[in-house]
Amino acid sequence: MKFGKFILLTTITLTAILVGCYPYARYVEPNLLMVNREKLESNRLEAPLKIVFFGDTHLGEFNDNNQLDRIIEKINAENPDLVIFTGDLIGSSGNFTVNPEEISQYLAKIQATYGKVAVMGNHEYALMDQYNYAELMSAGGFEVLIDDWLDISELNVRLLGLDDAYRGNPDIDLTDEAFDGAFNILLTHEPDIVDKMNSDAVQLVLAGHTHGGQISLPYLTEKILPANGKKYVKGLFVIGSQGQTNLFVTKGTGMTKLPFRFMNVPEIVAIEVSP
């Protein structure tokens, strides 16, 4: 009798929790936006460096330009030296339309002292027949790196941008181009590819793709994590043979497949690297 009552009360409690979580995960958390701040150090810099990066906006699926405008406002409030976008600008699932020119006009509002750089995501490849990602980003003031690098001599920084690991053809030897005396930053959409590369050659890796799991629930999240994003899911990791490289995986700002976020508040990331 007591056990039956326990089961009944447990069922009622769990049902109430699930019912209560639905409106939060559907209408509250997806509309939040936080700034996740980290502080790092490097003897390769002579002056402080502030990087702001974001990714996985998935515009058009469940997010619109209103959210993009909020993202831009928060980015500019950080007064960044560099702004990085780690891919998946427009979502490729669902039935919707977007205006690439309008998105470019929004991106052009982002202010960065030394430049704005982006890499390809898997959704960029899925939509290649619908719009030109490189042209859109260029119109917004971003340089797209595809297995290429860019030096910012004023900061003693080299940015290495990797092609998408899921649909592209990434050069896993790209870190061979890391400059020995510079602060080298590897940009990649999918984080798990770092285990196939010589990450010792770079000091910082920035990635996205996972959405932090998007919906964080025991046993469920690990089953829905995307390929190349199952090991490094969100936050700051220390990698490399001697733990000399930092990897940060952003939870992103958008959603894909389902219009829910739970325990993964949309974020932009501000990283301050001090000498």
What's the rounded mean pLDDT across residues 117-124?
98
Q: Which of 215, 218, 170, 164 is nearest to 196 (CA)?
A: 170
Tell me whether residue 19 is in a domain.
Answer: no
Q: Which of 268, 267, 254 is nearest to 110 (CA)?
A: 268
Sequence length of the chain is 275
Tell me whether residue 7 is in a domain.
Answer: no
Q: How do residues 40-49 score in pLDDT, each as one tens digit?
A: 999 999 899 9
Tell me whether residue 15 is in a domain.
Answer: no
Domains in the chain, number:
1
Tell me whether residue 17 is in a domain.
Answer: no
What's the rounded mean pLDDT across residues 121-135?
96
Inter-helix orientation angle 100-107/65-77, to 10°:
20
Report the chain's C-alpha Rg in angstroms: 20
Tell me whether residue 4 is in a domain.
Answer: no
- Give, in order, the Cα–Cα distances in Å from 248 to each of 115, 121, 237, 238: 20, 16, 6, 9
19, pLDDT greater than 70: no
The domain that holds 153 is classified in CATH as 3.60.21.10
Q: Residue 14: pLDDT band by 50, 70, 90 thresholds?
A: very low
Q: In whole numbers, what is the pLDDT of the chain averaged over residues?
A: 93
Tell me whether residue 9 is in a domain.
Answer: no
Tell me whether residue 173 is in a domain.
Answer: yes
Q: Which two tokens stand for residue 58?
A: 């998935």
Q: How do residues 188-245 score in pLDDT, each as one tens digit?
A: 999 999 999 999 999 999 999 999 999 998 888 888 899 999 999 999 999 999 899 9
245-249 and 235-239 strand pairing: antiparallel
Percent of the chain with pLDDT over 70: 93
Residue 77 structural domain: 32-274
What's the rounded mean pLDDT across residues 61-67?
92
Tell me whether residue 87 is in a domain.
Answer: yes
pLDDT value for 8: 55
- Entry pTM: 0.93
